[in-house]
Amino acid sequence: MNAPDRAGIRPAADIDMSSWWMPFTANRQFKARPRIISGAKGMYYYTPEGREVIDASAGLWCVNAGHGRQEITDAVSRQLAELDYAPGFNMGHPLAFQFASRLVEVAPAGFDKVFFTNSGSESVDTALKIALAYHRARGEGHRTRLIGRERGYHGVGFGGMSVGGMVANRRMFANSLLPHVDHLPHTHDPSRNAFSRGLPEHGGIEFADALERLVALHGDTIAAVIVEPVACSTGALVPPRGYMERLRAICDRHGILLIFDEVITGFGRLGTPFASQYFGVEPDLFTTAKGITNGAVPLGAVFMKGAIHDALMTGPEAMIELFHGYTYSGHPVACAAGLATLDIYQREKLLTRGASLEKEWEDALHSLRDCPNVVDIRNLGIIGAIELAPREGGEVSRAYEAMVGLFEAGVLMRYTGDTLALSPPLILESEHIGRIVDTTRKVLSGIS
């Protein structure tokens, strides 16, 4: 594929960067040495100078069908011309209903209700609220406690931040987090599981047993447990084999809802449409966003079992059943993008393509094991992580340095702490895997 037309694109040096306070970015460091992207097509980003950068992170884990898909562009522009916005409160428009029905068709059986949001953070807060409302509607209003997990990331709303377990995200707001929240231990155990391929085999199921201890401590006040099937933002922490089953069993034993946060793992990332299918373990609700529109338009959705929804449909018919929603829930343009995205996913079989690439991906990543400072490599589906050792004195800077070096060498990769995280678009081919791994080897070899 050719680079997009560069006419009218200004060189990075011309951009006034003073006004935009960038999210989750060291603003001063970035603006002193910016990395700008101004175009994208297929597997590649392009810089204003016309440099090609292979996208090894699907944007921020969202561009699963690759960049610049014409079908999505056409659907969005058609929809903007036909119906740019429609209220979703007490009014409907065809696309939101149609998209919800299509989503339910690709979801695992039984997840036949969908609530639309605009982001992963909103999906998480929505799922937590639905869980609370569900228990209340069934006469179990004492179930108010929410359980997350250390090193989890569930977005930046007060709910998601509270159940989240990223220390830096919580510290600044520590006195304003939700009450009645507790956490399970994370599942990362490099002493037993470093360089595991796929699901770690060497133990760790007992991390799930911590939920029994929380039940003993909190009694029947727990409403829901929320976990990411793979904790991606803190470095792709893959749970050990059997862990998910154990968590499900304990939730069942104690009447606790299990929520999977599939904002990243949804829509084919693990080689199955949703992670619950990869693990063979069903949650009661699951959250999505990102890949739902191929990242083209903000949209999120919470999927739930019919029984969760139905429990709230018991009051007077003239009463609002859930006092919750967003101005842009079911936005027509987002739904148009989502429908076009689903068409692509289904036609190109992208929701299961990862399964056929998983082994090649795994072998390629693990070939980096002998690079300097590599202390762990992890993978699942088309996710990968390369963890580097901290520098002497504990300084955590190697992965950042690698990310900068990789971008300059033509590969976009995420980093968190000492870990590089990989999640390329699911259209990737062997040549892309080779290029990503070869460049990574070169860059890592140059970092002391």
For binding to ligand PXG (CB under 6 A), which residues are involved? 60-61, 119-121, 124, 153-155, 228, 232-233, 261, 263-264, 289, 414
Are 306 and 113 spatial neighbours (Cβ–Cβ below 8 Å)? Answer: yes
Q: Which is nearer to ligand PXG, 134 or 415 (CB)?
A: 415
Q: Which is nearer to ligand PXG, 93 or 149 (CB)?
A: 149
* Burial call 384-414: b when 16+ CB within 10 Å, e when fewer: bbbbbeeeeeeeeebbbbbbebbbebbbbbb
- Least Å from the CB of residue 41 to ligand PXG: 22
Amino acid at 19: S
Are 145 and 180 spatial neighbours (Cβ–Cβ below 8 Å)? Answer: yes
- Least Å from the CB of residue 287 to ligand PXG: 7
- Least Å from the CB of residue 266 to ligand PXG: 9
Nearest-angstrom CA–CA distance, 360 and 230: 20
- Least Å from the CB of residue 119 to ligand PXG: 4
Q: Three-class SS of residue 414? A: strand
- Least Å from the CB of residue 316 to ligand PXG: 34
- Least Å from the CB of residue 366 to ligand PXG: 21
Q: Which is nearer to ligand PXG, 121 or 373 (CB)?
A: 121
Nearest-angstrom CA–CA distance, 86 and 94: 10
- Least Å from the CB of residue 383 to ligand PXG: 11
Are 229 and 260 spatial neighbours (Cβ–Cβ below 8 Å)? Answer: yes
Strands (E), 305-422: 374-380, 383-388, 411-412, 414-416, 419-422
Q: Which residue is nearest to ligand PXG (CB)?
A: 120
Q: Which is nearer to ligand PXG, 127 or 336 (CB)?
A: 127
Are 62 and 68 spatial neighbours (Cβ–Cβ below 8 Å)? Answer: no
Are 123 and 287 spatial neighbours (Cβ–Cβ below 8 Å)? Answer: yes
Q: Which is nearer to ligand PXG, 215 or 403 (CB)?
A: 403
Q: Which is nearer to ligand PXG, 124 or 199 (CB)?
A: 124
Distance, C-alpha 393 to centroid of its chain: 32
Q: Which is nearer to ligand PXG, 25 or 445 (CB)?
A: 25
Q: Which is nearer to ligand PXG, 61 or 215 (CB)?
A: 61
- Least Å from the CB of residue 233 to ligand PXG: 4
Nearest-angstrom CA–CA distance, 110 and 126: 19
> Which phi-psi region, left, alpha or beta, contains residue 200 (left: φ > 0; alpha: ψ -120 to 50)?
beta
Q: Which is nearer to ligand PXG, 54 or 259 (CB)?
A: 259
> Which phi-psi region, left, alpha or beta, contains residue 443 (left: φ > 0; alpha: ψ -120 to 50)?
alpha
- Least Å from the CB of residue 421 to ligand PXG: 6
Burial of 81: CB neighbours in 10 Å, binned 0-12, 13-18, 19+: exposed
- Least Å from the CB of residue 279 to ligand PXG: 15
Nearest-angstrom CA–CA distance, 53 and 378: 24
Q: Which is nearer to ligand PXG, 137 or 422 (CB)?
A: 422
Among 277, 274, 194, residue whose Cα is nearest residue 240: 194
